[in-house]
A and B are shown apart, each in its own frame.
Chain A
């Protein structure tokens, strides 16, 4: 990857603003417009919030973000943590189709995951017993 940059931050909610500043700069430097920058920032914020809330709910550790632009000019973001295994399939998808939202019936769980998948072009979760959770997200360069 070109211009690879890494941020290691404590897996605590206090880190979210610092992570946001970091990824905002990365996306701007990668040439995304302000819409794209905002979408990348939001996806990363939701992903890191999930890590802190779920993976580091019982144990503590760092979040490691590694970002860079690949050969195709797309922005790749890797987020790693050493917390509890996260299974994205265990999270129910919220009922958020426009015009079909029922306030009393809304399944609000999984909203963060919904945003991540909506805002990024590729989203892959992996778990490895040695290195922990590993989320890879790709935002394609607008053509």
Chain B
């Protein structure tokens, strides 16, 4: 995946991470490293934009689950968006659609973090 992973800071300390292509056992370590770097730096509101992802293997699911656990422990979360039907099918097969917040767009995912903050204050 080297060089094919976009990242950007959105408003409200939300970070968008956008992997591309296949999230298989070869490409997942780099993706996981990016998520870990953000979490290590205290950035726990992560939006994973799956618009350009064609496949997620079990190692990709494990990486997302692990990141979500850490993010939630730090008061944040990992939200997913722009999931293609094929990728959604993978999440459905293992019941992961009930674990993650899944949104139609980056904006909706980012807004969910803002709403979450409003609800707490």
Measuring CB to CB, which residues of chain A are less than 8 angstroms from any residue of chain B?
13-14, 16-17, 20, 38, 41-42, 45-46, 49, 52-53, 94, 96-101, 103-104, 106, 108, 111-112, 114-115, 118
A120 to B22, CA, bound (A): 21
The winner among B22, B26, B69, B94 for most chain A CB atoms within 10 A is B94
* Chain B residues closer than 8 Å to A17, beta-carbon distance: 22, 24, 26
CB distance from B10 to the nearest CB of A (A): 25
* Chain A residues closer than 8 Å to B3, beta-carbon distance: none
Asked if residues A103 and B99 are in contact (CB atoms below 8 Å), the reply is: yes
Q: Which of B25, B26, B96 contacts A101 (CB 8 A)?
A: B96
Interface size class of B (residues with CB under 8 A): 20 to 34
* Chain A residues closer than 8 Å to B58, beta-carbon distance: 46, 49, 111-112, 114-115
Asked if residues B65 and A103 are in contact (CB atoms below 8 Å), the reply is: yes
CB distance from A61 to the nearest CB of B (A): 17
* Chain A residues closer than 8 Å to B61, beta-carbon distance: 108, 111
Q: With A52-B25, A96-B95 in contact, do A108 and B57 touch (Cβ < 8 Å)?
A: no
* Chain B residues closer than 8 Å to A52, beta-carbon distance: 25
CB distance from B68 to the nearest CB of A (A): 7
Asked if residues A20 and B22 are in contact (CB atoms below 8 Å), the reply is: yes
* Chain A residues closer than 8 Å to B68, beta-carbon distance: 103
CB distance from A48 to the nearest CB of B (A): 9
